[in-house]
Structure 1
Amino acid sequence: MRKTFQLHVEGKNRDRVLDAVKHEIRKYIKRERRRDLPEGADFWDFDCRFGRTKEDAAVAHLSALTGLINGVAAEGGAQFYVEILAKPGKRTPRPAGQAPQGGADDLGGDEEDVV
């Protein structure tokens, strides 16, 4: 998806246009994730770019897109550009002996011995 979204549409409420844009982006991502994975791939990864125009678009993380869109809307911007390209991804195995981060074994808190 490579698209410039207009936030000022004649005769439409700006908040509703913003919600419709976010919905369209989420719908695209869900549709891409449903596609069949190529051989050897574990998941669909996304390369994203975001900016006010296509020329000044910078690399952004997929999870940060909603915040960036909200930032443009809060500043009163008239438009923004989003580029989301799906690519197959492969998970890398965790090195032996490395504990999972934030998993069920991670109790948080102090490292005291409990007897």
Structure 2
Amino acid sequence: MKKIFKLTDEKKHEDRVLESVKHDIRKYVKREKKKKLEDAKMTYWDFDCKVGATPDTAKVVDFDELIKELDTVKETGATECYVEILAKVVDKPIKEVPESSEYETES
């Protein structure tokens, strides 16, 4: 999703407009996560995100920080916000199995 959201509306309070943008982003992510994975046991959906006042000034952020960055853009007084979210399939990290020698008792 690459989209420019308007952060102002004559008929709505600015906070409600921002909450609407956040809702649209969460709805998009939820829809993307529902898509089938070829190997669901070994992979999961991850997202590459950019956010900024314009596409040129957008900076790369982690998905967890995306909503906080929207608040930051709003605080700068911008009337529009550019959001780019690209879904990608990522391998799950392999869990380390503890060595059995730690649990053996000496005789």
Bin of the TM-score, shorter chain as denominator length? 0.7 to 0.9
Q: Residue 37 of structure 1 corresponds to which residue in structure 2?
A: 37
**Structure 1 length normalisation: TM-score?**
0.76
CA distance in 1, matches of 2:36, 2:15: 35
CA distance in 2, matches of 1:81, 1:55: 9
Unaligned runs of 5+ in 2: 99-107
Deviations 1:74-112 (A, max 9, x none): 232211111001011111214455xxxxxxxxxxxxxxx
CA distance in 2, matches of 1:17, 1:48: 21
User: Which structure 2 residues correspond to residues 1-115 of structure 1 after superposition, within 5 A?
Assistant: 1-39=1-39, 42-97=43-98
Unaligned runs of 5+ in 1: 98-115
CA distance in 2, matches of 1:86, 1:75: 28
Alignment check: 8 A CA contact 2:52 2:82 kept: yes
CA RMSD of aligned residues (A): 1.8
* 3-state SS in 2 of match to 1:76: coil
Q: Residue 104 of structure 2 corresponds to which residue in structure 1?
A: none
CA distance in 2, matches of 1:75, 1:57: 13
How much identity, in percent, do the aligned residues show?
41
- The count of aligned residue pairs is 98
Q: Extract structure 1 runs of 4+ deviating beyond 3 A.
A: 94-97
**Structure 2 length normalisation: TM-score?**
0.82
Higher helix proportion (structure 1 or 2): 2
